[in-house]
Amino acid sequence: MIEIQNASKWYSAFRVLNDCTTRVAKGEVVVICGPSGSGKSTLIKCVNGLERIQRGSITVNGVSVGAPDTDLPKLRAGIGMVFQNFELFPHITVVQNINLGQIKVLGRSKDEATDRALALLRRVGLHEQADKYPAQLSGGQQQRVAIARALAMDPVAMLFDEPTSALDPEMINEVLDVMVGLAQDGMTMMVVTHEMGFAKKVANRIVFMDEGQIVEDTTKDEFFGTRRGERAQLFLSKILSH
């Protein structure tokens, strides 16, 4: 589904991504972790073309993200993305947030879009908040709306960039529960997170990044077992200790 081959990216002289190769098969959940600044966000932003790689290739469902003739808006519409800071559109209501892409991009009628939005809000437990504005919701609620907004586009895959790290601890689980549900329904997911509980529960593979490189790309069992690299070991002991 998502194929990343020898992807490299530079910010002027600084190499953010260094020859990254990995893949996410259909229905697979891949968790990406690694220290701050290691290039995790950059990598997943390259998957839907929000950032460009300068070398290598990334394809989604066989479509090359970097090719000049690729219809990027169309490609992006088919890949859901959830951000660390939610990024709901503050000037429109929850239901309008979920409708915007459906109407403008997929060409659904307002009624069709609203039906879908309300169904998704019900699924994430927020159907009573449909007419509120984002700033009137808690962080956990906003993030669940953001997930619903992405799902409304009927994506073939979902990208998550630290979806719980801006949340107060008591709200983390309500978001993780939604994500676990998605994973169990067979959604293809690429998730940057340090929530190892989530990884243990639903991940198929764990990718560990450091300084722009993918230093480990293993199955979950290998990662949490004994055959873990030194750097990953060090990192894991740090994040598991708190």
> Applying CB under 8 A, which residues contact another protein?
45, 48, 50, 73-74, 76-81, 83, 85, 87-91, 100-101, 104-106, 132-136, 149-150, 153
Rounded Cα distance between 55 and 237, Å, is 33
Rounded Cα distance between 13 and 65, Å, is 23
Tokens of 30: 């891949």
Residue 13 touches which of Mg ion, ligand ATP, another protein, none (Cβ within 5-8 Å per kind):
none
Question: Applying CB under 5 A, what is the total number of residues that bind Mg ion?
Answer: 1
Tokens of 99: 């409708």
Q: How far is the CB of 19 from another protein (least distance, A)?
A: 25
Rounded Cα distance between 121 and 128, Å, is 8
Tokens of 116: 């879908």
Q: How far is the CB of 41 from Mg ion (least distance, A)?
A: 3
Q: Counting contacts by CB under 5 A, is residue 59 touching Mg ion?
A: no
Q: How far is the CB of 34 from Mg ion (least distance, A)?
A: 10
> Which C-beta is closer to ligand ATP: that of 17 or that of 95?
17
Phi-psi region at 167: left, alpha or beta (left = phi > 0; alpha = psi -120 to 50): beta
Binding to ligand ATP by CB under 6 A, coded x per residue (else -) over 29-68, reads -------xxxxxxx--------------------------
Tokens of 208: 């560990």
Binding test (CB under 5 A) with Mg ion, winner from 18, 38, 41, 141? 41
Using alpha carbons, select from 179, 129, 128 the residue that is nearest to residue 151. 179
Using alpha carbons, select from 235, 238, 208 the residue that is nearest to residue 222. 208
> Which C-beta is closer to ligand ATP: that of 96 or that of 198?
198
Contact 22, 29 (CB under 8 A): no
> Which C-beta is closer to another protein: that of 54 or that of 136?
136
Q: Which residues bind ligand ATP (CB under 6 A)?
A: 11, 16, 36-42
